[in-house]
């Protein structure tokens, strides 16, 4: 990389750490650290939500979908706007007043309120393990992406670099630092990819005529996706808006209920159509570049086997001139870090609030919280560098959490007296089913995702035990 690009990247990283130092001096309690003092605005919350939800998978996932199936890949994030707006209408009016009244800091505290302590503890443990794994996987994915794009950087170097910066500003500044850095990272991502990446890529491949010549006809259609595929996206993404610890922390951080709802509507609009079509368009341009032979020098000649998810980084590497490569690399790291930092905060909150159960009134609580975040962050980085096979097991815990906890959340939303026993068995059997189906790699009927069967069983178990509970 040129010295100009390196300088841009270093300034960006130092800026992220500076945000953490700034808020470190202003955090006075665990409420400041974990929920931003409950005074954040809808603009910052909304951008932080969308950056967390799709930022980490943006460079890889959306670009890969555009490369593989074209514009129809945008329907994946259409489920994001559905989840965001439904939860804004039905979930936030229930959660925010309770969080304000009882000073909630975590998602399992909600389950403790509606069910009992056992349900909350199990949820806290599952959430902690899942978010440690998710933090590790985000950093590792970003490191592989950076190493593939910039051969001079090794995967280990990239992991350590991202890890140190993410842990640094998150430990120092807490949720305020995470939310404000997410805002900055989102803006950098927009500038780097929408205002520069798309126009340069469009010009480089030859404009609309090249898209017409080199792309299959159905790539420019919105119907190039099957119904089952859409259902799989729906049942994977929508439940996250109801069980994600990262999202509950942002509900709590909003200064009032109206602010939280507005933030969720903003996040939904940024997910679809903004992020959806931006990522898909870049993936399409990557496909055209591949078919034109632009990637031959990287070992990917037209017609050869290529991972769809590396089409986008190869395109951007090919078209960005000196002086903008630093911005490109910053954009990559922004996408990954905006998800990794939120997952780190979620894991720390689960550990201190739900497992250790530190007193919220303890003046030393913020120091213990910082120490917990540091230790969990170091563990996540260690796993990313030394024990990559463990990451799959931790991500299974995340799938377990989503498929197991979604129905109990619906239970407290719509029932006056939900059963703790129903929630417990629905969580264990529903999540366990999804986990078993993933591990055994069974061929599932109709090509449906394992989450479909886990959530379905969870609903059956919850309904059955709840009916006995009412009798």
Give the sign of the dihedral formed by CA 231, CA 106, CA 275, CA 84: positive
Distance between CA atoms of residues 231 and 281, nearest Å: 23
pLDDT, position 362 = 58
In this predicted structure, what is the pLDDT of residue 413?
A: 96
Cis before 17? omega within 30: no
Q: How far apart are CA 303 and CA 282, in angstroms?
A: 20
Rounded to two decimals, the pTM is 0.92
Tokens matching residue 178: 């995470």
Nearest-angstrom CA–CA distance, 92 and 109: 15
Q: With the C-alpha atoms ordered 18, 341, 311, 230, is the resulting torsion angle positive or negative?
A: negative
Written as tens digits, the pLDDT of the chain (471 aa) is 678 888 888 888 888 889 888 888 888 888 889 998 899 999 999 999 988 887 655 556 788 899 999 999 999 999 999 999 999 999 999 999 999 999 999 999 999 999 999 999 999 998 898 898 888 888 877 777 777 667 777 878 888 888 888 899 999 999 999 999 888 888 887 777 778 889 999 999 999 999 999 999 899 899 999 999 999 999 989 999 999 999 999 999 999 999 999 999 999 999 999 989 988 999 999 999 999 999 998 889 998 998 888 888 888 878 878 777 777 777 777 777 888 899 999 999 999 999 988 776 655 678 888 999 999 999 988 888 876 555 565 667 778 888 999 999 999 999 989 999 999 999 999 999 998 999 888 899 999 999 999 999 999 999 999 998 766
- Nearest 5°: phi and psi at 106? -140, 165
- What per-residue confidence (pLDDT) applies to 388? 58
User: What is the pLDDT at residue 457?
Assistant: 96
* Angle, CA of 171, 173 and 174, to the nearest 5°: 70
Length of the chain (residues):
471
8 A C-beta contact, residue 435 and residue 395:
no
Q: Which helix (H) or strand (E) holds 182?
A: helix 155-189
pLDDT at 314: 84
Q: 452, exposed or middle or buried, with CB in 10 Å at 0-12, 13-18, 19+? A: buried
The SS3 assignment for 405 reads helix
Question: How far, in Å, CA of 312 to CA of 291, rounded?
Answer: 13
pLDDT at residue number 184: 86
C-alpha distances out from residue 261 to 41, 81, 98, 250, 256, Å: 11, 13, 15, 11, 9
Least Cα distance to 169 among 12, 287, 331 occurs for 12
Q: What is the pLDDT of residue 58?
A: 58
In the prediction, which pLDDT does 445 show? 93
The CATH number of 3-390 is 1.20.1730.10
Q: Are 240 and 399 in contact (CB under 8 A)?
A: no
CA separation for the pair 280, 71 (Å, rounded): 6
Alpha helices by DSSP H, listed for 70-116, are 75-90, 92-102, 108-114
Q: What is the pLDDT of residue 148?
A: 66
Residues 122, 50: Cα–Cα separation, whole Å: 28
Give the CA-trace dihedral at 63, 69, 71, 72, to 10 degrees.
Answer: -120
Domain limits of the chain?
3-390
| 3-state DSSP assignment of residue 254 | strand
User: Cα–Cα distance between 260 and 276 in angstroms, integer?
Assistant: 23
The answer to whether the peptide bond before residue 288 is cis (omega within 30 degrees of 0) is no
Which of 185, 257, 243 shows the shortest CA–CA distance to 38? 257
Both tokens assigned to 325: 């490569």
What is the pLDDT, as a whole number, of residue 149? Answer: 67
């Amino acid at each position: 990389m040129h010295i100009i690009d390196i300088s841009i990247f270093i300034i960006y990283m130092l800026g992220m750490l500076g945000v953490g130092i700034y808020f470190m001096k202003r955090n006075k309690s665990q409420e400041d650290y974990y929920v931003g003092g409950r005074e954040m605005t809808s603009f910052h919350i909304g951008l932080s939500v969308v950056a967390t939800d799709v930022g980490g998978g943006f460079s890889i996932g959306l670009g890969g979908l555009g490369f593989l199936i074209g514009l129809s890949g945008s329907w994946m994030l259409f489920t994001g706007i559905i989840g965001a707006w439904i939860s804004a209408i039905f979930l936030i009016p229930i959660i925010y007043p309770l969080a304000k009244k009882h000073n909630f800091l975590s998602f399992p505290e909600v389950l403790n309120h509606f069910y009992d302590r056992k349900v909350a503890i199990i949820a806290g443990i599952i959430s902690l393990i899942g978010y440690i794994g998710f933090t590790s996987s985000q950093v590792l994915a970003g490191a592989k992406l950076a190493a593939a794009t910039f051969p001079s950087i090794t995967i280990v170097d990239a992991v350590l670099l991202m890890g140190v910066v993410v842990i640094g500003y998150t430990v120092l500044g807490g949720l305020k630092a995470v939310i404000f850095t997410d805002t900055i990272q989102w803006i950098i991502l927009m500038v780097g990819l929408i205002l520069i990446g798309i126009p340069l890529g469009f010009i480089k491949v030859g404009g609309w005529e090249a898209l017409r010549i080199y792309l299959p006809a159905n790539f420019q259609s919105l119907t190039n996706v099957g119904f089952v595929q859409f259902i799989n996206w729906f049942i994977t993404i929508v439940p996250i808006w109801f069980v994600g610890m990262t999202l509950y922390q942002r509900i709590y951080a909003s200064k009032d209920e109206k602010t939280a709802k507005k933030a969720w509507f903003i996040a939904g609009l940024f997910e679809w159509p903004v992020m959806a079509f931006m990522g898909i368009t870049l993936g399409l341009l990557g496909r055209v570049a591949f078919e034109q032979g632009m990637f031959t020098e990287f070992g990917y000649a037209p017609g050869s086997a290529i991972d769809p998810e590396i089409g986008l980084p190869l395109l951007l590497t090919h078209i960005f001139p000196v002086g903008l490569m630093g911005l490109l690399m910053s954009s990559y790291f922004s996408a990954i870090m905006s998800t990794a930092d939120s997952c780190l905060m979620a894991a720390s909150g689960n550990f201190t609030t739900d497992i250790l159960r530190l007193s919220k009134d303890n003046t030393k609580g913020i120091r213990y919280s910082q120490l917990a975040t540091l230790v969990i962050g170091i563990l996540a980085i260690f796993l990313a560098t030394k024990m990559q096979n463990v990451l799959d097991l931790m991500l299974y815990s995340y799938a377990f959490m989503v498929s197991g906890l979604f129905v109990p959340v619906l239970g407290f939303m719509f029932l006056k007296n939900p059963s703790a026993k129903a929630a417990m068995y629905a969580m264990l059997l529903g999540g366990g089913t999804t986990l078993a189906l993933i591990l055994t790699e069974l061929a599932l009927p109709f090509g449906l995702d394992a989450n479909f069967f886990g959530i379905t069983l969870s609903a059956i178990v919850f309904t059955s035990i709840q009916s006995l509970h009412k009798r």
